[in-house]
Amino acid sequence: MPIKLPQLSRREFIKRATLVGTAAAFAPQIHAGLFGKPRDRDTFFLLSDTHIAADPAQAHLNVNMADHLAAVSRELVVWPARPAAVIVNGDLAYLTGKPGDYTQFGRSIAPIRALAPLHLTLGNHDEREVFWNAFPHESEKIKSVPQKQTGVFSSDRANWFLLDSLQTTSRTPGEIGPAQLDWLARELDARPLKPAIVVAHHNPQFPKATTGLLDSDALLAVLTPRRQAKALIFGHTHDWKIWPHESGIHFINLPPTSYPFHEDRPSGWVRCTLADDGAEFELRSLDAKHPEHAQVKKLSWRTT
């Protein structure tokens, strides 16, 4: 299953933050009740494309990625309630998934881990074995599909299916693959009664993928007839957009935590809050003056 990092205790967070010199920056939030805040069991924080480098001073497209992730972390820890979980959807590392990238990523996410369990998926700038080795003692790594990081977790109002679309490190397109698609079909069939939300790094692309998900049609062939499948969440394009597929499945394109490919597009994170018949997705842009900042999209699930 995808690596799930458990929530840190107050003691463990302070220990780690002190070791990497971030305790002072987050001390006000700690004393304001970070560990005592209520948990919203229907809310999830969604991040994508962090692109953290071994060198925290590394910048790309005029953006310092470590600074952006730190800014997102500060926003998350002052949110009024803790989420049920946090998902970081691929391209955790800067370019080729070097060991130092994941070391720095692990340091950067310590404040987020104080909030909730953290689920991590992989993108085309990650390296699977290096990533697995970076979290050897605190991760769940039961591989449902050989050499893929695939898994499912349940929340009160939905089942979340986390897929691995990494095909080749540093090669732009991605692929789910036949074995993972078979696994997804079986797991969906075993959970027909609760809405299913599918998360993968690469974007579906039609009619023929060149930079996105090469087997987009095959993925939709699994999801479309299974009416419990309600939404497909992805990153990769460094953009923020939501639109309906002809099947009624919602496509949710997460913005990058790091750098947008176009300077007029937002970077930041997304709040997802589930209801019985749908969900809200809210963009939280790091630029509070961006015209789409705090934009809320209310989605209704397709009927069974």
Q: Could you tell me which residues are beta bridge partners of residue 214?
A: none
Q: What is the mean pLDDT of each run of 10 residues along the chain (304 residues)?
A: 75 69 51 74 98 98 97 95 97 98 95 93 96 75 74 96 97 97 97 98 96 98 98 98 98 98 97 98 98 98 92
- What's residue 21's pLDDT? 59
- Beta pairing class for 4-5 and 118-121: antiparallel
**pLDDT recorded at residue 31:** 43
Instruction: Report the distance separating Cα 125 and Cα 3, nearest Å.
Output: 17
Q: How far apart are CA 214 and CA 205, in angstroms?
A: 8
Instruction: Return the pLDDT at 146.
Output: 78
d(CA 139, CA 1): 10
Task: Classify residue 201 as exposed, middle or buried by CB count within 10 Å of its CB (0-12, 13-18, 19+).
Answer: buried
pLDDT (0 to 100) of residue 6: 83
Does residue 189 contact residue 36 with C-beta atoms inside 8 Å?
Answer: no
What was the pLDDT predicted at 24?
Answer: 45
Q: Are 121 and 88 in contact (CB under 8 A)?
A: yes
Comparing C-alpha atoms, which of 216, 146, 214 is closest to residue 183?
146
CATH architecture type of domain 4-300: 4-Layer Sandwich (3.60)
